[in-house]
Structure 1
Amino acid sequence: LLEGPVERVLELGLQRRWTLHGTGHMLGMDVHDCAAARREAYVDGTLEPGMCLTVEPGLYFQADDLTVPQEYRGIGVRIEDDILVTEDGNRNLSSDLPRTSTDVEAWMARLKG
């Protein structure tokens, strides 16, 4: 949807039109979108084993946004993973959840039963 070199798009922040939130945040009692979270421990901190965070890229196309094709207007998509930092890397706590639209629809149909 965006034309030109990726570097220019990022420099100008053009992608922000459709990314209405950050790409993730820490998880826990004092950190989920919490104004009292200690910046030095989280935003500016170092990841340590036992910490959990989300990875949640998303695209949100407003219904009246004429800069996107008609078939995308009014659609929002976000895939969120919850990640545990481990001694030797990380563990995706949400890896067993469905990822494709077909798998999500099948999962929801089973829940409705």
Structure 2
Amino acid sequence: KFRDFHDASQRVLAEKLVEWGLVEGPVERVLELGLQRRWTLHGTGHMLGLDVHDCAAARAETYADGVLEPGVVLTVEPGLYFQADDLTVPEEYRGIGVRIEDDILVTEDGNENLSAALPRRSDEVEAWMAALRA
């Protein structure tokens, strides 16, 4: 289901926030209370294609509760955003946001990451951007 990747992503974010000491576990309780959402600020992804970005008006059974079938393309873009004035996080995290988006094609036997060739690490992104300006 579409919601499955969102749930998996939220679990990973909650696990890391507990590991980093930003929220107290257990992870199941963090998820139950939605504590990780304080720093996520947006959904984990959305469908890609004509007229499908931010499908707030789409029928739940075909979108949020829908089944991912071969040919469907969606984004997977979990993120954490620590506001500059957020005193609940260590000072060195304040004002930092991180999000990596992948565009995924659902296939008959799994998926294909359409954005796999893009840079991921900050130094790779900076080198790529510098090359664009050259």
Matching residue's letter, 1:105? E
User: What is the CA distance between 1:91 and its match in structure 2?
Assistant: 0.4
User: What is the CA distance between 1:47 and its match in structure 2?
Assistant: 1.1
SS of residue in 2 equivalent to 1:4: coil
Which runs of at least 4 in structure 1 moved beyond 4 Å after TM superposition?
none
Aligned length: 113
SS of residue in 2 equivalent to 1:26: coil
User: What is the CA distance between 1:66 and its match in structure 2?
Assistant: 0.2
Return the alpha-carbon distance in structure 2 between the equivalents of residues 6 and 53 of structure 1. 27
8 Å CA contact 1:26, 1:53 repeated in 2? yes
User: What is the CA distance between 1:26 and its match in structure 2?
Assistant: 1.0
SS of residue in 2 equivalent to 1:2: coil
8 Å CA contact 2:46, 2:55 repeated in 1? no
Q: Hey, what does 1:81 align to over in structure 2?
A: 102
Give the CA RMSD over aligned residues.
Answer: 1.2
SS of residue in 1 equivalent to 2:116: coil
User: What is the CA distance between 1:80 and its match in structure 2?
Assistant: 0.4
| Percent of matched pairs sharing the same residue | 84
- More helix by percentage: 2
**Alignment TM-score, normalising by the size of structure 2:** 0.79
Stretch deviating more after TM superposition (39-48 or 12-21)? 39-48
**Alignment TM-score, normalising by the size of structure 1:** 0.92
Where structure 2 has 5 or more consecutive residues not aligned to the other structure, the ranges are: 1-21
Return the alpha-carbon distance in structure 1 between the equivalents of residues 30 and 56 of structure 2. 30
Return the alpha-carbon distance in structure 2 between the equivalents of residues 79 and 106 of structure 1. 17
SS of residue in 2 equivalent to 1:110: helix
8 Å CA contact 1:56, 1:78 repeated in 2? yes
Q: How does 1:1-113 map onto structure 2 within 5 Å?
A: 1-113=22-134
Return the alpha-carbon distance in structure 2 between the equivalents of residues 39 and 5 of structure 1. 30
- More strand by percentage: 1
